[in-house]
Structure 1
Amino acid sequence: MNALIDTASWILLAGGALLSVIGGIGMLRMPDFYTRMHAASVTDTGGMILMLAGLMLQAGLTLVTAKLVFVMLFLLITSPTATHALARAALEDGIEPQVDHDKR
């Protein structure tokens, strides 16, 4: 049973790390500010959820797991809120989204 939990935990940790790396690559490859920000925020939140879930499996039912749950809830609230605030500030500052007229 312990080997099964360890395997599941490492799969979640590796998946979260991979998602975070994909988000970093997306930030480099996307054409404008808004798509870069979207790539970073979505993969950041998903990677965080997977990595914290893997850590929770490693910790078992302890006080550490409860603390990780609170960290996850805090990040699930603050990360999208910060992304929204950043996008709104950029739009109010005059940074326009790039529009591809060929696909309209």
Structure 2
Amino acid sequence: MTAGIIATWAIAISLLIGSFFCLVGAIGLLRFRDSMVRLHAPTKVGTMGVGGLLLAAMIHSYTFEQGSLHELLIMGFLFVTAPISANFIAKVHLHHRTCKMPDPPPHDETWATLDVPEADLEIEAQSDA
């Protein structure tokens, strides 16, 4: 098998995997029940799908044409910005209270500190012995 045939198979597999992830992300975007759950479909699965499609484009450009780093830059930008945008969208929904709010944190001296409750220290001492 020549390098061109192997590259063609790699391109086809990357396109299939990327298309599958994009399809699952689109279905998840339509089927999930509220906006906070819907964030997972485009940010996680959709990003992997676009990454697979860009990987196929990179393999094609380096095998059959003059190589280019544009796809790698797009992939890096996408993988960095998708989680940040999802975080901002989630914060907006929490701020406007358009979703189910998380449980309030406990109001004791160990909340948001490195203090450990005494009961947990006793359990840890028993497990170390």
* Bucket of the pairwise TM-score, normalised by the shorter protein: 0.7 to 0.9
Take 2:41 and 2:100, find their aligned partners in 1: how far apart are those partners? Answer: 14
Partner SS for 2:91: helix
Counterpart in the other structure of 1:47: 49
Confirm or deny that 1:59 pairs with 2:29: no
Q: Which has the larger radius of gyration?
A: 2
Partner SS for 2:98: coil
List runs of 5+ in structure 2 lacking aligned partners.
103-129
- Aligned-pair identity in percent equals 24
Match for residue 96 of structure 1 among 96, 99, 103: 99
TM-score normalised per structure 1: 0.84
The number of aligned residues is 98
Normalized per residue, the structure richer in helix is 1
Q: What is the CA distance between 1:75 and its match in structure 2?
A: 1.1
Counterpart in the other structure of 1:77: 80
List runs of 5+ in structure 1 lacking aligned partners.
100-104
Q: What is the CA distance between 1:68 and its match in structure 2?
A: 1.1
Q: What is the CA distance between 1:19 and its match in structure 2?
A: 0.7
Q: Deviations over 1:30-72 (max 9, x none)?
A: 12111111122111111111111111110117442x1111111
Partner SS for 2:39: helix
Could you list the structure 1 runs, at least 4 aligned residues long, displaced by more than 3 angstroms after superposition: none
What letter corresponds to residue 35 of structure 1 in structure 2?
Answer: V
Match for residue 33 of structure 1 among 32, 35, 39: 35
Q: Is the 8 A contact 1:16 1:48 kept in 2?
A: yes
Q: Is the 8 A contact 2:58 2:67 kept in 1?
A: no
Q: Is the 8 A contact 2:34 2:99 kept in 1?
A: no
